[in-house]
Structure 1
Amino acid sequence: MSELILARLQFGATTIFHFLFVPMSIGLVFMVALMETLYVVKKQDVYLKMAKFWGHLFIINFAVGVVTGIIQEFQFGMNWSEYSRFVGDVFGAPLAIEALLAFFMESTFIGLWIFGWNRLSPKVHLTCIWLVSFGTIMSALWILAANSFMQEPVGYVINNGRAEMNDFAALLTNPQLLVEFPHVVFGSLATGAFFIAGVSAFKIKKNLQVDIFKKSFNIAMVIGLIAGIGVAFSGHAQAKHLMESQPMKMAASEGLWEDSGDPAGWTIFAIIDEKTGQNAYELTVPYALSYLAYGEFQGSVPGMNTIQAEYEATYGEGNYIPPVNTTFWSFRIMVGAGVVMILLSMIGLFLSYRKKLESSKIYLQTMVWLIAFPIIANTAGWIMTEIGRQPWTVFGLMTTEAAVSPNVSTGALLFSFIAFTLVYAILAGVTVYLFLREIRKGVVYSPADEPQVAIDPFDKGAYQ
Structure 2
Amino acid sequence: MVAIAGNLSALWIILANGFMQHPVGYVLRNGRAELEDFAAVIGNPYAWGEYLHTVSSAWMLGGIFVLGVAAWHLARKNDVDLFSKAVRVAAPFTLATALLLGAAGHNQGMNVAQYQPAKMAAMESHWETTARAPMNIIAWPDQKNGRNAIEALPIPGLMSLIAFNDANAEVKGLNDFAREDIPPVLLSFLSFRFMVAMGGLFVLVAAWAWWRRRDLAADRRLIRILPWMIPLPYFTIMAGWTLAEVGRQPWIVYELMRTGDAVSPVPGSSVLVSLLAFLAVYTLLGVVDIWLLWTNARKGPEPAQTVEEA
- Scaled by the length of structure 1, the TM-score of the pair is 0.64
Show the 5 A alignment for 1:35-74: none
Matching residue within 117, 124, 140 for 1:271: 140
Q: Deviations over 1:385-410 (max 9, x none)?
A: 1100000000111111111211x212
1:187 corresponds, among 41, 48, 57, to: 57
- 1:444 and 2:305 aligned: no
Relative to 1, partners in 2 of residues 1:361 and 1:307: Cα closer, same or farther, differing over 3 Å?
A: same
Partner of 1:222: 92
Following superposition of structure 1 onto structure 2, how do residues 347-426 of structure 1 map, counting pairs within 5 Å?
A: 347-353=208-214, 355=215, 357-406=216-265, 408-426=266-284
Count of aligned pairs: 307
Deviates more, 1:220-229 or 1:423-432: 423-432
Say if 2:95 and 2:210, in contact at 8 Å, map to a contact too.
no
Is 1:344–2:214 an aligned residue pair? Answer: no
Give how far 1:195 is off: 0.8
1:218, distance to aligned residue in structure 2 (A): 2.2
- For the residues of structure 2 that align with 1:286 and 1:207, how far apart are their CA atoms? 49
Alignment of 1:88-107 (within 5 A): none
What letter matches 2:138 in structure 1? Answer: F
Cα separation, 1, equivalents of 2:180 and 2:201: 36
Structure (1 or 2) with the greater strand fraction? 2
Contact in 1 for aligned 2:15/2:48 (Cα 8 Å): no
Task: Give distance in 2, aligned partners of 1:305 and 1:445.
Answer: 64
What code does the residue aligned with 1:446 have? A
Distance in 1 (CA, whole Å) between partners of 2:12 and 2:109 is 22
User: Aligned to 2:136, what secondary structure does the other structure show?
Assistant: strand
Quick one: distance in 2 between partners of 1:290 and 1:280?
22
Q: CA deviation at 1:328?
A: 0.5
* One-letter amino acid matched to 1:403: A
State the match for 2:114 in structure 1: 244
Name the CA shift for 1:402/1:448 in 2 (closer, same or farther; >3 Å): farther
CA distance in 1, matches of 2:14, 2:75: 39
Distance 2:224 2:37 in 1: 51
Q: Which secondary structure state, in structure 2, belongs to the residue aligned with residue 257 of structure 1?
A: coil
Aligned mate of 2:182, from 321, 324, 329: 321
Offset at 1:448?
A: 8.0
Residue identity matched to 1:433: W
Q: Distance between the aligned counterparts of 1:267 and 1:386, measured in 2?
A: 23
> 2-side partners of 1:448 and 1:274: how far apart?
68
AA aligned to 2:28 is I
Cα distance, 1:210–1:149 mapped onto 2, change above 3 Å: same
Post-superposition Cα deviations, 1:161-187, rounded to whole Å, max 9, x if no partner, equal 221111110001111012111111111
Tell whether the 8 Å contact from 2:53 to 2:104 is kept in structure 1 after alignment: yes
Whether 2:170 is the aligned partner of 1:300: answer: yes
Q: Secondary structure at the match of 2:255?
A: coil
TM superposition shift of 1:380: 0.7
- Distance in 2 of aligned mates of 1:266 and 1:431: 39
Aligned 8 A contact 1:341 1:373 in 2: no
SS at match of 2:133: coil
Q: For 2:27, what is the secondary structure of its paired residue?
A: strand
Q: Distance in 1 between matches of 2:284 and 2:84?
A: 33
Cα distance per residue 1:20-75 (max 9 Å; x no partner): xxxxxxxxxxxxxxxxxxxxxxxxxxxxxxxxxxxxxxxxxxxxxxxxxxxxxxxx
Distance 1:418 1:181 in 2: 30
Aligned-partner Cα distance in 1 for 2:119–2:303: 50
Q: Given residue 137 of structure 1, which amino acid in structure 2 is its aligned partner?
A: N
What is the distance in 2 between the residues matched to 1:446 and 1:143? Answer: 40
Q: SS state of the match for residue 358, structure 1? A: helix
Deviation of the 1:348 alpha carbon = 0.9
Tell me which of 71, 96, 101 is aligned to 1:231: 101
The amino acid across from 1:425 in the alignment is: T
Mapped partners of 2:110, 2:291: distance in 1? 42
- 1:433 aligned to which of 284, 291, 296: 291
**SS of residue in 2 equivalent to 1:352:** coil
Maintained 8 Å contact 2:91/2:213: no
Unaligned residue ranges in structure 2 (runs of 5+)? none
- Which structure has the greater CA radius of gyration? 1
Displacement after TM superposition at 1:445 (Å) = 4.9
The answer to whether the Cα contact below 8 Å between 1:267 and 1:282 also exists between their aligned partners in 2 is yes
Q: Aligned to 1:158, what secondary structure does the other structure show?
A: strand
> Once the two structures are superposed, what CA deviation does each residue of 1:238-260 show, in whole Å capped at 9, x if it has no partner?
11122210000000011011112
**In structure 2, what residue type is equivalent to 1:391?**
P
SS in 2 for 1:157: strand
Give per-residue Cα distances to partners, 1:180-232, cap 9 Å, x unaligned.
Answer: 11111111100111111111111111111111111112211211111111111
User: Distance between the aligned counterparts of 2:306 and 2:109, measured in 1?
Assistant: 51
Which runs of 5 or more residues in structure 1 are unaligned? 1-130, 309-317, 450-463
Question: What is the root-mean-square deviation in Å for CA atoms of aligned residues?
Answer: 1.7
CA deviations 1:360-418 (Å, max 9, x no partner) are 22211211111122112211111001100000000111111111211x21212222222
Deviations 1:257-288 (A, max 9, x none): 1112x311112221211111111221322221
